[in-house]
Amino acid sequence: MHIPKLKDFFVGEEKNNIKYFAGMIIAMLIWGVSWTSGKAIVTHVHAEVAAFWRYAISLITVIPVIWYLKVPMKKDKIAFFYMFIAGLFISLFNYLFFMGLSHGEAGYGGTMVTAISPILTYIMSIVILKNKVSTKQVLALVIGIFGALILLKVPFEGFAFLNINSLYFLECAIIWSIVTIFAQKASKRVDPMMYTLVVFAVTCFTNMIFALPYEPFAFSTFDSVFWWNIVFVGLLAGTFSTALFFISASHLGAHQAAVFMFIVPIGAIVSSWIVYDEKILLSTVVGCLLTFVAVVLFNSKKRVVEVLK
């Protein structure tokens, strides 16, 4: 029996990917911490205001990145349609993100959304995009669904998760799955960073419309806690980590990038435990691990499966 090593799963034929692994890990950890930072933000402002400023900062700071990377400004009407719709959905996700954090726990929210969203995406890709699945992938979906049910505590509490503390996060997972489908449709027509720019712009202006009644430009009402955290979420978790993710993913491949997404809950759980003393539930850990196994199995190539035999 051949015992697999970590490099068998990620390195493959390339041995110079360490910097991209590091970049992906950093981006995922920052995304995880952003859940805790987001909770700090909504204790100081309305969710609508937080949603606007998050993507306003991301939009402003992504423009120099686009210029530096010399991203081609390819015009494609169909791609723009996908990006526009994705932007509208992300603006809704953005609002639900902050509303969820105003009621629920950051660690649980970050874990639930990250873990359940890929499973929902695979199901949607099969139903909507008519993607064919193998027996191995069906098994992966079964494991993933079971993991999602444990995350939602269904075996222990039934449908008690349908409360204000969890429902926002479940809606976030559903919305993000829809956004992922649109991203897949647009990816063949436009550069990922160009996609990011347009989506950031649509999201920013959509959230601004709903934030106007709450005076988002009343700067004197915002304290330092709000600004430090909104800059972290908008600049580091938004522009920096998004660019780092796309650059690293372009070298590692989509199937490996999907696996790295499960580092996000680590950042969310640990940071929320440190800052808010949130309890780390066994059901959260087990559910996240099962969905992680499902994503690895669903995205694994034949070579990776053989190495387990």
Mean pLDDT, consecutive 10-residue stretches, the chain (309 aa), reads 44 62 89 94 94 96 89 82 92 95 90 87 81 82 88 79 82 90 81 88 96 94 94 93 81 70 87 90 88 81 42
**DSSP element (H, E) containing 279:** none
Asked whether residue 300 is assigned to any structural domain, the reply reads: no
pLDDT score, position 131: 76
Asked whether residue 208 is assigned to any structural domain, the reply reads: yes
pLDDT score, position 10: 43
Q: Output the CA torsion sign for 56, 105, 162, 237.
A: positive
Asked whether residue 101 is assigned to any structural domain, the reply reads: yes
Task: Answer yes or no: are the C-beta atoms of 168 and 103 closer than 8 Å.
Answer: yes
Task: Answer yes or no: are the C-beta atoms of 91 and 203 closer than 8 Å.
Answer: yes
Q: Name the DSSP class of 13.
A: T
pLDDT score, position 185: 80
pLDDT score, position 2: 46
Task: Answer yes or no: are the C-beta atoms of 244 and 62 closer than 8 Å.
Answer: no
Asked whether residue 61 is assigned to any structural domain, the reply reads: yes
Residue 188's alpha-carbon distances to 76, 195, 255, in angstroms, are: 11, 11, 16
| Segments forming the whole domain that contains residue 165 | 18-132+158-284
Asked whether residue 7 is assigned to any structural domain, the reply reads: no
Asked whether residue 276 is assigned to any structural domain, the reply reads: yes
Asked whether residue 231 is assigned to any structural domain, the reply reads: yes
**Domain count of the fold of the chain:** 1
pLDDT score, position 255: 60
Query: What distance in Å separates the CA atoms of residue 256 and residue 260, rounded to the nearest whole number?
Result: 7
Task: Answer yes or no: are the C-beta atoms of 294 and 114 closer than 8 Å.
Answer: no
State phi, psi for 30 to the nearest 5 degrees.
-65, -40
Asked whether residue 305 is assigned to any structural domain, the reply reads: no
pLDDT score, position 301: 61
pTM: 0.83
pLDDT score, position 7: 46
